[in-house]
Amino acid sequence: MSGRSVLSLSIFLFCAPLLPASGETRSQSPPNVLIILVDDLGYGDLSSYGATDLRTPHTDRLIAEGLRFDQFYANCPVCSPTRAALLTGRYQNVVGVPGVIRTIENNNWGYLSPDAVMLPQLLSQAGYDTAMVGKWHLGLSVPNIPNRRGFDFFHGFLGDMMDDYWHHRRHGNNYMRLNEKVIQPEGHATDLFSQWACDYLETRKGKSKPFFLYLAYNAPHTPIQPPKEFLEKVVARESGINESRAKLVALIEHMDDGIGRVMATLKEIELDRSTLVIFTSDNGGQLNVGANNGPLRDGKQSMYEGGLKVAAGCQWLGQIQSGTRSNLSAMSMDIFATVCDVAGITVDHPIDGVSFLPTLLGKEQPPLRKQWFFTRREGGVRYGGKTIEAVRIGDWKLLQNSPFSAQELYNLKEDPQETNNLASKRVDKFRELAAAMRMYIQRGGAVPWQRPSKAAIESDR
């Protein structure tokens, strides 16, 4: 068990051990950390990941100047659960977020656990200034808002999707905030988030205290509303492109332009060489609005690879060798462990994430875990409040993409497009993975995910 003690077989199966430092040699001063999380980006929707009809030079440069992951996975094929996993280092359903947190009570499928320890809390204790810009999507009211869950500064949107990128409302509610103050900014949300991130970075110029900035874009999530000038440029350049694809390409290129401005600001304030930048998406692309998930099957909402496998790259100038790639498998919750590792924080509570810092620094690293779980709880007629899930062990993956359909078994090494269901042919593997999944579902089922009563919420104010 890699020399780490465990309390029981179940903990060995499901919980990552307490996080040690990686043992790598690095500068005494901890780096700044910038996490850029984009929303619903298809695996094939960057130029560097194979897209031929769009141009993303700034994101491509970010990844090219560091390490690109070829086997990076979101914890879930939808928004809230992946965000919960990233910021807690835990599987999402053990921190109360198995599904999407929404405004409408009877279609809400998560409540961030009061006991969950958040990444900004630990970084703040370690001397970091902590900030978030953009989409939160882990709670709409006290106590589950950024400033009450560890962030010193918040400038962004509490909700899930915006009904309009210019008017910033969801079901008529204004979820835009500057810390806890309701605000009504003007402009496209992507431009606002990019500018607010730049504004925050400007405040760090000349400061000795390291910063942690979590920049979470709404783009390219629906509605697909790029600025007119970006759409016109795409249509003029890409002969024959259909309207749906053109709008999505323009929205992605607009977001890339914003990322470029953020990275330029980081360089202008002379903190680019002392900042670890991590880029990834919360899940795969949404096919019915024109997303491209490359050769992968299906997309957002799905337990097939197209819903889970995402683009990811890390840049740390002078520390991570530029132009490198890795086949190490990692997932959203491993970012938590990695950031703690690079900041010199020893995590003294159980987490599921494992640091991939050795890989970033060019060292050999064993697989981060033996069993990989992906789960989601959702409502409506399609899901009925039940769960869908997948488990991967080695090359084998068992999934149930609908609570009303049979489980499917694939060998991803031989069948990466998941076209040959081996459930009836490899009964031994089917039983092995199905047993692991049942145990994991039991673990997640022990954690409440509904909102507490109104009285309980009022008592926390």
Q: What is the per-residue pLDDT for 3?
A: 36
Instruction: Let me know whether 265 and 398 are in one domain.
Output: no
CATH number for the domain including 155? 3.40.720.10
Residue 126 reports pLDDT greater than 80: yes
Residue 262 reports pLDDT greater than 80: yes
DSSP H or E run through 315: strand 309-315
Range 280-305 average pLDDT: 98
Judged by average pLDDT, the poorest of 20-24, 62-66, 306-310 is 20-24
Residue 17 reports pLDDT greater than 60: no
Q: What is the per-residue pLDDT for 15?
A: 40
Query: Is residue 226, in this structure, part of any structural domain at all?
Result: yes
DSSP H or E run through 257: helix 243-268
Q: What is the per-residue pLDDT for 23?
A: 39
Q: Give tens-digit pLDDT for 31-69.
A: 999 999 999 999 999 999 999 999 999 999 999 999 999
For strands 371-377 and 387-393, give the pairing: antiparallel
Rounded Cα distance between 311 and 309, Å, is 7
Q: What is the per-residue pLDDT for 309?
A: 98
Instruction: Let me know whether 245 and 386 are in one domain.
Output: no
Instruction: Let me know whether 326 and 380 are in one domain.
Output: no
Instruction: Let me know whether 410 and 295 are in one domain.
Output: no
Q: What is the per-residue pLDDT for 352?
A: 98
Give 27's pLDDT tier (boundaries 50, 70, 90): very low
Q: Give tens-digit pLDDT for 90-111.
A: 999 999 999 999 999 999 999 9
Instruction: Let me know whether 53 and 123 are in one domain.
Output: yes
79 is catalytic: yes
Helix (H/G/I), strand (E/B), else coil: 317:
coil
Instruction: Give the burial class of 418: count Cβ atoms within 10 A of its Cβ; 0-12 exposed, 13-18 middle, 19 or more buried.
Output: buried
Q: Give tens-digit pLDDT for 128-147.
A: 999 999 999 999 999 999 99
Choosing from 15, 58, 76, 137, the catalytic residue is 137
Query: Is residue 142, in this structure, part of any structural domain at all?
Result: yes
Q: What is the per-residue pLDDT for 364?
A: 96
CA 36 to the chain's CA centroid: 9
Q: What is the per-residue pLDDT for 19?
A: 41
- What are the Cα distances from residue 205, in Å, to 197, 211, 324, 356? 13, 11, 29, 29
Query: Is residue 296, in this structure, part of any structural domain at all?
Result: yes
Give the count of beta carbons closer than 10 Å to the beta carbon of residue 243.
Answer: 11
Rounded Cα distance between 97 and 186, Å, is 31
Residue 460 reports pLDDT greater than 60: no
Six token digits for residue 186 = 């003007």
pTM beyond 0.85: yes
Q: Are 206 and 271 in contact (CB under 8 A)?
A: no
Q: Which amino acid is at 60?
A: D
Last residue of a domain, one of 343, 367, 391: 367
Choosing from 76, 79, 314, 340, the catalytic residue is 79
HSE (side-chain half, CA atoms, 13 Å) at 336: 32
Residue 348 reports pLDDT greater than 50: yes
CATH number for the domain including 433? 3.30.1120.10
Query: Is residue 22, in this structure, part of any structural domain at all?
Result: no
Q: Give tens-digit pLDDT for 408-441.
A: 999 999 999 999 999 999 999 999 999 999 999 9
Q: Are 35 and 197 in contact (CB under 8 A)?
A: no
Q: What is the per-residue pLDDT for 26?
A: 39
Last residue of a domain, one of 367, 402, 421: 367
Backbone angles phi, psi at 191, to 5 degrees: -65, -40
Q: Give tens-digit pLDDT for 69-92.
A: 999 999 999 999 999 999 999 999
Instruction: Let me know whether 80 and 229 are in one domain.
Output: yes
Q: Give tens-digit pLDDT for 143-195.
A: 999 999 999 999 999 999 999 999 999 999 999 999 999 999 999 999 999 99
Q: Are 357 and 20 in contact (CB under 8 A)?
A: no
Instruction: Let me know whether 78 and 170 are in one domain.
Output: yes
Q: What is the per-residue pLDDT for 451?
A: 84
Name the domain count of the chain. 2
Instruction: Let me know whether 391 and 295 are in one domain.
Output: no
Backbone angles phi, psi at 28, to 5 degrees: -65, -35
Instruction: Write the DSSP symbol of residue 138.
Output: S
Residues in the chain: 461
Q: Which parts of 133-242 fold into alpha helices (H)?
A: 189-203, 228-237
Last residue of a domain, one of 332, 367, 402: 367
Question: Residue 333 is part of which domain span?
Answer: 30-367
Instruction: Let me know whether 377 and 363 are in one domain.
Output: no
Backbone angles phi, psi at 214, to 5 degrees: -105, 105
Q: What is the per-residue pLDDT for 244?
A: 98
Instruction: Let me know whether 444 and 322 are in one domain.
Output: no
Query: Is residue 328, in this structure, part of any structural domain at all?
Result: yes
DSSP H or E run through 377: strand 371-377
Instruction: Let me know whether 36 and 105 are in one domain.
Output: yes
Instruction: Let me know whether 277 and 396 are in one domain.
Output: no
137 is catalytic: yes
- pLDDT, the chain, mean: 93
CA–CA–CA angle 125, 127, 129 (5° rounding): 100
Q: Give tens-digit pLDDT for 314-327.
A: 999 999 999 999 99
Residue 459 reports pLDDT greater than 80: no
Rounded Cα distance between 298 and 373, Å, is 18
Q: How many helices and strands in the chain, by DSSP H and E?
A: 13, 17
Q: What is the per-residue pLDDT for 452?
A: 78
Rounded Cα distance between 265 and 272, Å, is 9
